[in-house]
Amino acid sequence: MGKFMESVDTKALRFVVGFPVLVAAAFVVCAFLLRPDLPEPLAIRWTDDGGASFAPFGAYVTAGALMILAGGWLVLFQAVPINRPVLMRRIMMGAGLFFTLFVTSALAAGIVGQAGLADARESHVDMTVLALGSGAALSLGVIVAFAFKADQQWSPDDDRALQLAIAREADPDLTRDDIRLWVHARSSVFVMIAIASLFPAALIAVAVPWLGALLVLLAVVGAAFLFARIKADRRGLKVLLAGIVPVMNVPAGAISVATAAEVKAADYGGWGYRHHGGTAAMLVSSGPAVVVSKTDGQRLAVSGGSPASAARLAEVLTRVAERARPGGGAAPTPGQPES
């Protein structure tokens, strides 16, 4: 029970549990107030001619209250776990309140439409009650979605952030030994890919739509492979193709030296990720890059963006490699989060 309470927003949980109960109780009370004016049994389904299916008053009210409770709890509870994104929790809180009130409005419209009639077969759903109730439910749901403030409670992410802050305070050079950058091909390359794919795809789609869509998808995938995210810190070098797929992960201790240089992609097999012989490369274009020599004799090259960022990346890799060698400096900080 303790772990469950730590994983939920307790204030929101109290509202989630209590609100549908209060709405269901109000529905039951109002239904009993109208009981003397209602026919027996009540209509539960209508056609253009009137009531078509019927149920006793007790069954209508009991089933309606249970629908309010079950529907409200099912949707509202999605806003309770604190590990979910704040935006999602707000949306689900507003949606849950709307759904609870909408179900209540529909049930109330069915009862009011039968008030004062001797035979439920002559009844119809009261559209005024349904329209007013639905409109109020929608507006209140939107307001609550904007007004609901998800509690900012302490989480494992906060623990990692605290550890990192302590590590940076104890070691001012930690920030210098960390670099993140995106590299990508020149814009003209993406324009060329678009021209070479979208125009033919538009013509092909006239005859075979799925083939045209497939051609566009292949072009998007190809363009994504001309993006890369490069991370360097005291753990070493990590390169993610398209920012998602890890293609290089070199520990700091395996780096001998890193040098900024102007390279030609053709010398390393072309654009994208290449690996042949003892050389690996992730180049999105010819130009500024960092060439890394490993302690096992292998080499790799990664695009560095601009000359300045390539020089900084080479500087960081050289410095962390020196730290990783025996007697070369402080060990990698354990509090530094994996990214």
98 and 51 in a common domain: yes
Q: What is the pLDDT of residues 153-168, one digit of tens each?
A: 666 777 777 777 776 6
Please give the C-alpha separations between residue 193 and each of 186, 215, 218, 269, 281, in angstroms, as whole numbers.
11, 11, 10, 20, 22
CA 60 to centroid of chain Cα atoms: 40
As beta bridge partners, residue 248 has: 239
For residues 48-70, give the mean pLDDT.
Answer: 89
181 and 140 in a common domain: no
Q: Which one, of 239, 223, 226, 225, lies nearest residue 180 by Cα?
A: 239
Pick from 103, 130, 147: which residue ends a domain? 147
8 and 127 in a common domain: yes
Q: Are 199 and 219 contacting, i.e. CB atoms less than 8 angstroms apart?
A: no
59 and 186 in a common domain: no
Cβ neighbour number for residue 290 with a 10 Å cutoff: 28
Task: Using pLDDT thresholds of 50, 70 and 90, give the confidence band for residue 171.
Answer: low
Helix 86-112 and helix 57-76, axial crossing angle in degrees, nearest 10: 170
Structural domain span for residue 269: 176-324
Residue 28's pLDDT is 92
Report how many domains make up the chain. 2
Residue 258's pLDDT is 84
In a domain, 138, yes or no: yes
In a domain, 160, yes or no: no
Task: Write down the pTM of the prediction.
Answer: 0.47
Cβ neighbour number for residue 73 with a 10 Å cutoff: 16
126 and 186 in a common domain: no
The bridge status of strand 299-303 relative to strand 279-283 is: parallel
**Encoded tokens for 122:** 């002559």
201 and 255 in a common domain: yes
Per cent of the chain over pLDDT 70 is 88
User: Could you tell me which residues come within 8 angstroms of residue 67 by beta carbon, excluding any fewer than 6 positions away?
Assistant: 103, 107
Per cent of the chain over pLDDT 90 is 15
91 and 29 in a common domain: yes
Q: Are 105 and 129 contacting, i.e. CB atoms less than 8 angstroms apart?
A: yes
For residues 14-38, give the mean pLDDT.
Answer: 90
Q: Which one, of 160, 142, 302, lies nearest residue 229 by Cα?
A: 302
Q: Which one, of 201, 199, 181, lies nearest residue 191 by Cα?
A: 199
For residues 274-291, give the mean pLDDT.
Answer: 82
User: Using DSSP, how many helices (H) and how many strands (E) does the chain show?
Assistant: 9, 11
Kindly state the helix (H) or strand (E) to which residue 62 belongs, with its residue range.
helix 57-76
Residue 264's pLDDT is 86
Q: How many residues does the chain have?
A: 339
234 and 106 in a common domain: no
In a domain, 293, yes or no: yes
Within 127-233, strands assigned E span 179-184, 227-233
259 and 189 in a common domain: yes
109 and 9 in a common domain: yes
Pick from 102, 127, 147: which residue ends a domain? 147
142 and 37 in a common domain: yes
In a domain, 96, yes or no: yes
Q: Is 90 exceeded by the pLDDT of residue 66?
A: yes
CATH code, domain with 208: 2.30.29
Q: What is the pLDDT of residues 287-331, one digit of tens each?
A: 888 888 888 878 888 888 888 888 888 888 888 888 777 665 544
Q: Is 90 exceeded by the pLDDT of residue 24?
A: yes
Average pLDDT over the chain, rounded to an integer: 82
